[in-house]
Amino acid sequence: MTRILGLLVLVTATQAVPRPAPFQSPWSIDQMRGKQAVVQTSLGAFVIELLPEAAPNHVGHFMTLAAEGAYAGTSFHRVIRYGIIQGGDPLSRDPAKAAEYGTGGLNRLRAEVHAEPMTAGAVAAVLVPNRPDSGGAQFFICATDQVALQGQYTVFGRVVEGIEVVQAISAVEADVDGRPAARVEIRTVTIRDTPPPPRDPFAEATGAELSAYRVTLETTKGRVELAVLPDKALETSRQFLRLVAAGVYDGVAVHRVVPGFVIQTGALAHRPPLTAAQQKLIRNLPPEFSDTPNVPGVVSMARGEDPGSGSTSFFICVGECRGLDGQYTAFARVTAGMDVVQAIALVPVDGETPKEPVTVTRAVVSSFPQRLQRVDAHGAAGGNPGGGEHDGQDAR
């Protein structure tokens, strides 16, 4: 109930003024189809997929204002933590008019309410209370699902990239009325054609092509280089390269150290939250057990009791781990930096938990010897290579 009441703050009372004729889009639906809006803010950028089939006049109005530069210099003047963010008021350009924020740019659009769900990323028109045909320049974005608002507002777009930026804006310090303590500015809104989906360089690569890649783990103890073993674990090698290129391992902790046995990293519970793009990449992997011996330097995918529960967490053998042979998917080997692996294995531990934080600050895919350009994303998940408790689907 608290969240629902809070969300009602997004509609703003305003004085009765003469209303201009309702806005009609100057473009046809076909002309507006396949368009995105790139919103650059002082806290980062996000991309809105516009929905002209559902709300043609709202999309046309938004595109018109964006082309005129009408949003540049405005701010997100109201936020509800992990609820919604509200912006687009032309009055919000002027800090001296802060008391009037939320009252400008309204009464231009007739409602075009439809079935598009009020889930995370939905972009909708702000309304004057009890006036469904009062939309205009102002809009709000759902930072998380807001089912209580379904069917009450015109959704005209959806955030398809950068929802984490929207959520970060929603979480800025604000007063009890949701007014941010520090200004969060919209710098530009640019309309573009929807680009083709990014090419996955690993999707159709053969085993021989995958074997040409190297992964560098930049840790707080030094660099470790890995070569994948697609001849032993084709799909696990492919997925590992994909996750590294997406930044899923950036910022993940080495969360388990068993001296003389293994070090383990990659658990999602031991890194900052994933972006939406990264989260889409996470899946369990079918086992690809082989005759690869678990000797020092061999890298295997961690898992829970289910052989098919491996996901992102992996371990590196620092000693003879032959008792694990045939039970875990060995998919890579250390080609340089084994001294770094050994140094990590020597950090003080409490049980199997490092007392000294060790982090994979960045993981990079490169071809051998030429470096590959990184793809887009950040994250990781747990696993249990030998003994210990489980955390989630993988172990610790």
Q: What is the pLDDT of residue 18?
A: 63
Supply 88's token pair.
Answer: 């687009």
Rounded to the nearest angstrom, the gap between the alpha carbon of residue 72 and the centroid of all alpha carbons in its chain is 25
Nearest to 395 by CA among 264, 230, 228, 219: 264
Give yes or no for a contact between 359 and 252, defined as CB atoms under 8 angstroms apart: yes
CA distance 315 to 263: 6
Rounded to two decimals, the pTM is 0.72
- pLDDT, tens digit only, all 396 positions of the chain: 344 334 444 444 444 556 679 999 999 999 999 999 999 999 999 999 999 999 999 999 999 999 999 999 999 999 999 999 999 999 999 999 999 999 999 999 999 999 999 999 999 999 999 999 999 999 999 999 999 999 999 999 999 999 999 999 999 999 999 999 999 999 999 999 999 988 898 999 999 999 999 999 999 999 999 999 999 999 999 999 999 999 999 999 999 999 999 999 999 999 988 888 899 999 999 999 999 999 999 999 999 999 999 999 999 999 999 999 999 999 999 999 999 999 999 999 999 999 999 999 999 999 864 433 444 333 333 334 443 333 333 333
Supply 146's token pair.
Answer: 């807001």
DSSP class per residue in 126-163:
--BTTBTT-B-S-EEEESS--GGGTTTS-EEEEEEE-H
Residue with tokens 């009055």: 91
CA distance 175 to 271: 30
Supply 69's token pair.
Answer: 């530069």
Nearest to 156 by CA among 170, 136, 178, 171: 136
DSSP class per residue in 99-132:
GGTTSSS-S-B-----S----TTEEEE--BTTBT
Q: Which residues contact 293 (CB under 8 A, 6 or more apart)?
A: 322, 325
28 backbone φψ class: left, alpha, beta (φ>0; ψ -120 to 50): beta
Give yes or no for a contact between 162 and 45, defined as CB atoms under 8 angstroms apart: yes
Map out the domains of the chain with their CATH numbers.
Answer: 2-193 (2.40.100.10), 207-395 (2.40.100.10)
Q: What is the pLDDT of residue 380?
A: 32
CA distance 41 to 185: 5
Q: What is the pLDDT of residue 20?
A: 78
Rounded to the nearest angstrom, the gap between the alpha carbon of residue 43 and the centroid of all alpha carbons in its chain is 15
Q: Is the dihedral of CA 249, 255, 257, 262 positive or negative?
A: negative
CA distance 312 to 356: 22
